[in-house]
Amino acid sequence: MLTHIPPDGVAPGNGYSHVVVGEGRLVVISGQVALDEQGNVVGENDAAAQARQVFENLRRCLAAGGATFAEVAKFTFYVTDVAILPEVRAARDAYIDTARAPASTAVQVAALYRPELMLEVEALAVIPW
């Protein structure tokens, strides 16, 4: 259902795919942050703990839409400091097939909607008709 295509003339992606083509229904997951079920911040000042919570929230949202991480075509990462990307990648890699990594964009932002949050991640998945 998802085809990962390495484009000619473009340097290989390091941990992501440049082009992912899908066929099916689109599942759009809003940006997820490190909040637990009660709305409390998980892992204040701890990028690894926040990233783990974010990916667990993404897993739950994907499941609600009938998808899994295997069907994720694209992630967008918003981080308040790009220095936390190794922790974010480690959390992501626990959930995805790293040999077929989704397309990805990472953006450093000045702040998220709550000052104690360090990252927000949104996902696009494609599931069979």
Question: Mean pLDDT, 10 residues at a time, over the chain (129 residues)?
Answer: 92 93 95 97 98 98 97 98 98 97 98 97 96
Spatial separation of the C-alpha atoms in residues 78 and 111, rounded to whole Å: 9
CA dist 27 and 23 (Å) reads 12
Give the C-alpha separation, 23 to 126, whole Å: 7
Domains observed in the chain = 2-127 (3.30.1330.40)
* pLDDT at residue 1, as a whole number: 78
What predicted TM-score, i.e. pTM, was given to this entire model?
0.94
